[in-house]
Each structure stands twice: as structure tokens, then as C-alpha cells.
A and B are shown apart, each in its own frame.
Chain A
């Protein structure tokens, strides 16, 4: 009798644990998705202006490091093959292939996996309850991610990321950064909302969202291209690290001039994120006489080729302000 009771209790406990486990997917995320470029397309596709730190809650260190950045750093052999980390790839223009790996015995989903691309590494989101590694363990370009279901939302926590750009014009994140993503699938649309925290460079969390659309026609590569560094800048002195000393970056004011903005707006900071700042800005904004570029929406009518999705056949014919 006692043995039976113990057996029943064991079965109930196992069933309860299984039922409560978040490892079974509430939503099937699998598929190939094209990135929808409705948000921040200038930053994501052609690339941000030099000195465009708008919309970022940078602290003084983050701003200083971004202002010191020289794109020639990318020519250093030791930097040519560095990939983007997850805190950038969620921002960038990449599409995504998503698939799961299951335990062959139980059928439970062990991980969700996100493809890599030209210069980002594939990511594994562990769903089997494993802990994050020790603080003394290595950081990787994919970071270490664990997931749990919150209703039909997959909540992903990522740690152990390497230092990586937050924006392609030198805005940094540090290796202390962590990221929480909320992944929601609604019919054929997928939305990832990311909350990036970085005690080294941000004064408050940076929150962004990105939209993707199921599109089996796009060609998403699962693994990045192999990379071999070469000598790109033979004139660079051995041991030199290209950068600007404080106050020495001549390009920082370009964006402010182009768009008729006060310089301080382009330098970011938490204050500039909020609607109240618009009122402060209104009296200082001088609308440019003509539109210099990006006047016709994302891509200027170009079509993406590697999972970025089409552009609704936009054709850019005007160079006048579009608003």
C-alpha cells in the first residue's frame, strides 16, 4: 500500500513538473522570416550617419567612446573578422531562420535556434532549464541565452556577450551588457522586443522592437561566411589603433548640419528619448531647404537580397523634404 502511494505520488509529481515546465512550446516559431524595415531603416540598412547617437540613452562614457571611434578600426587584421553580438543583431537588418531542437526521447524542445548571417553568429536559446554559466566563464559572439514561455511570449535572457557595437557608427555595448527579448508570433508576423541593459555605457535600458514576416522565399544562411583577415591598411603603423582624441573627430557635427538639428540632439542621452524633449527642441529646429538623401523611404527603392524583404517597389524621384 505504502509502495503504491509513493508510486502514485511520484507519478503525480512528475506529471506536475512536466505540466508546469515551460519547455513545451506554446507557439511554433519555426520558419524563415524576412526583416520588415519599417523602423529605423536608415540606421539598419544604409547605416547611421557619423555622430548619429539619437534615440540612445548613452552615458558620458558611451558618448565619448562613440565620438572617438574611427571606422578604420575595421581594417585592423584583428578586427576584420569580429562578428556582431546579439545586442546588435536584434537591431540590424538581418532576417531570421528559426528552428527548434528536440529531445529524441521525450520530444521536449531543448532549444530554439536563430540563424546567423553574413557577419553574425547563430544563437541557441536553451529551453531545458540549464543555468547561465559562471561569471568567470568565457563570453561568445552569440552570448548565452535561456528562454521561458510567458503565455504565448517567449522571454529570452542573454548574458555572456562580447563587447559589440550598438550602432554601426561606433556606439558601443560592453561585455557587461545583458539583454531580455520578448518574442511574439502573430499569424505570419514575428515581433522581437529587446531590452538591452549596459551598466558601462547606458543610463537606462535601451528598448527596441523589430518586425519580421514569414517568407519562405528569402535565402537565409544558417552559418556566416568564413573569414580570413588580410592587410587592408598597409600604411597603418604596427600597434596603432585608429581613433580620434577627445574633440578631434571632425565629422561629429555633420548630422546636425544636414538635418538642421542642434548638436546636442545628435549626441543622444536619456532625456532625448522622451516626448517632452520635442517641445524643448521645437524652437531650435531649422528645417533644411532640401532633402539631401534618404528622401523616399528605406532603400531608396532598392530591394534587399539576403532576407531583408522587399520595399514595396518604392522609387525615389524627389529630393525635396518628404513631410
Chain B
């Protein structure tokens, strides 16, 4: 290797190193004694830990999986056992492959199961999701799948799945036809923490993928379902607390915050429905700005999910002729 190449390689390494240094660190927030929120790699990642190992809810976008692994070290020295995916959204499953590979599945069950125990082959963490997540991430034989096989769920369920890990019951509950047809919310019962997945994204209007089975009514139903699961700190309301809710993106929420978000989504649904009943076309409804009251808080004119896309999704789901 000539000197110019060495210099070029050094400059390249320096650039990579500087870029890594310039990235803000992942934000780690303790939500409950056994539960943390990791933010900074796409969607939020929830971490539950204990003597059985680490359970992740979602795996982020996968752009900073090594940073995620580094952030997990101070939380637990034990391996990742499970990754529970709340949807097939790329922001939630992007780190599946890398994080799963870094983990170690439980013997006799997920992540390799009995075959792994018999063969002695070390397997990664199990990946668990609703079966529609598996269908969205994979493809029929001979077709190109949107995600590599190493990221696909290793276990799929239909309605609900219960686990008992790290001394607490964990419920993975399917909420039909909300953000998509594969959404789940995860309820850590002893920690009293709900991971809402894409149903609640406090940084923007909810992403509703109508072409993937999502609908405005399903979204509202899912929000009301979360409000039924979550308990506010009544009667001593001045105590901060009650059930904590981790959204797809943004800060930790409580019951009152989800009420605010649910009300917003319901009001926009009602306004769009009112305009449809007045005979307006989609374009006229867009022009009427039915999200007014919430546009600066949740809206955007750029990026992957604009206000216009949200209005279109509400319109599309209300004009499909079905409540879902």
C-alpha cells in the first residue's frame, strides 16, 4: 500500500470516527425499575430486564444497533432473549437482525428451540410478532422479501401471546386494523408499562397505512383500548405516575397524554366525516384543513408522513364503506 493510500485510509477512518463522535448519544430514560426507553435509532426501543435476560420491544431502524448494544450494557450484562415487534414498520424492525444476532435465545423455546439445544448451536434472540408482521416482512418463495430473513419474526401469533419473564407477566395484544393490520401493544403488567408501538406517535399525526390494513376507526379503537388498559393515578392525582406508556417515537406518556392524543385523532376523524357528509371531495377536504387545531403540534409538510397524507388516510378509511 503506497503512502497516498495509507493517508486516504487514515482520512477515511478519521472521517468515520468523527461522524460517530458527532452523533448524539442514544437517550436512555428509566421508565420503571425494570423498564427503560432507548431513543435515537428511529422508533423507540423499550427494554425490560431481570434475571432471565433482556426483552426488547422493537429494535429501532437498525442504523445504530451497535450504539443500542452499548447502551444496553449498563442496564444488564445478560443477553437479549426476545425482541417483540409491535409492527412491521422499518423504524421498529430495522435492528432485528443485528440485535437478535447479538442475543441468545432461551433453550427449548424461541430462538432455535430444542434443535438448538440438541445441536449445541448458539442461536440469537427470538423475534416475536403478530403473524401479519411476518407476512409483511417476508415474501412467497421466489419473490424478493422487503426484509432479510434474519430480521423476520421467528415466532408469530394471531390474537395474543403471553410470556412470563424477569418475574413479570408480559402480554402482547393484537390491536386490529390500526396503524396497519399487524399492530400489537405490549403490556408489562408488574412494571405497569405499556409499549404502544405505532398506535401512538407523539411527534406527529398517527401513521395509518390504509393499503396495509390500517384505518382511522381501528386507530381510535386501539387508542381507547390503551386507555382502558392504562390506569391514571386516581384518586391521588397529584402523584405523578400511574401506568407509563412508551409511544413509537417521542417521550414517555401517561394516561392523560394518551387522552389528549385520542381526542385529537377523534376530533379530526369527526371533522373529516362532517366534510364528507357535506359532499366535499378529497381535494376540497384537504383545502379545508381539517387538522386545524393540531397542525403545528403534530403536522408536517415534509418527511415521510405529512399532514396531507394523514388527511388522505382518514378520508380513505372513511370512504371505504366500512368502519374498518
Residue A98, interface by CB 8 Å: no
Q: Which of B234, B238, B256, B288 has most chain A Cβ within 10 Å?
A: B238
Residues in B with CB closer than 8 Å to A223 are 238
Place the interface of chain A in its size category: 35 or more
B224 A239 Cβ-Cβ under 8 A: yes
B266 A239 Cβ-Cβ under 8 A: yes
A134 B294 Cβ-Cβ under 8 A: no
B295 A81 Cβ-Cβ under 8 A: no
A228 B260 Cβ-Cβ under 8 A: no
B232 A81 Cβ-Cβ under 8 A: yes
The residues in A between 211 and 231 inclusive whose CB is less than 8 angstroms from any CB of B are 223-224, 226-229
Residue B92, interface by CB 8 Å: no
Residues in B with CB closer than 8 Å to A174 are 297
A134 B271 Cβ-Cβ under 8 A: no
The residues in B between 213 and 252 inclusive whose CB is less than 8 angstroms from any CB of A are 220-221, 224, 227, 232, 234-238, 240, 244, 250-252
Residue B292, interface by CB 8 Å: yes
Residue A250, interface by CB 8 Å: no
B238 A137 Cβ-Cβ under 8 A: no
Residue A308, interface by CB 8 Å: no
Q: Mark A224-260, 1 if CB is under 8 A from B, else 0.
A: 1011110000000001110101100000000000000
A137 B252 Cβ-Cβ under 8 A: yes
Interface of B is mostly: mixed
Q: How many residues does chain B have at the interface if contact means C-beta atoms less than 8 Å apart?
A: 42
Q: Shortest CB–CB separation between residue B121 and chain A, in angstroms?
A: 38
A78 B240 Cβ-Cβ under 8 A: no
Q: Mark A191-227, 1 if CB is under 8 A from B, else 0.
A: 0000000011100000000000000000000011011
Residue B270, interface by CB 8 Å: yes
Residue A79, interface by CB 8 Å: yes
* Complex Cα gap A64–B251 (Å): 26
Closest to A228 in B: B235
Residue B61, interface by CB 8 Å: no
Residues in A with CB closer than 8 Å to B39 are 136
A61 B259 Cβ-Cβ under 8 A: no
Are A243 and B267 also in contact (CB < 8 A) when A136-B29, A163-B260 are? Answer: yes
- Chain A residues in contact with chain B, CB under 8 A? 59-61, 64-65, 68, 73, 76, 78-79, 81-83, 116, 121-122, 133-142, 162-163, 174-176, 199-201, 223-224, 226-229, 239-241, 243, 245-246
Beyond the given pairs A162-B256, A229-B234, A240-B266, 8 more chain A to chain B contacts, judged by CB atoms under 8 angstroms and listed by A's residue number, are A64-B293, A136-B250, A163-B257, A174-B297, A176-B297, A239-B221, A241-B262, A246-B290
Nearest 10 A/B pairs, CB to CB: A226-B235, A65-B293, A121-B238, A200-B297, A64-B293, A64-B292, A140-B240, A241-B266, A138-B252, A245-B274
- Chain B residues in contact with chain A, CB under 8 A? 27, 29, 37, 39, 44, 220-221, 224, 227, 232, 234-238, 240, 244, 250-257, 259-260, 262-263, 266-267, 270-271, 274, 288, 290, 292-297
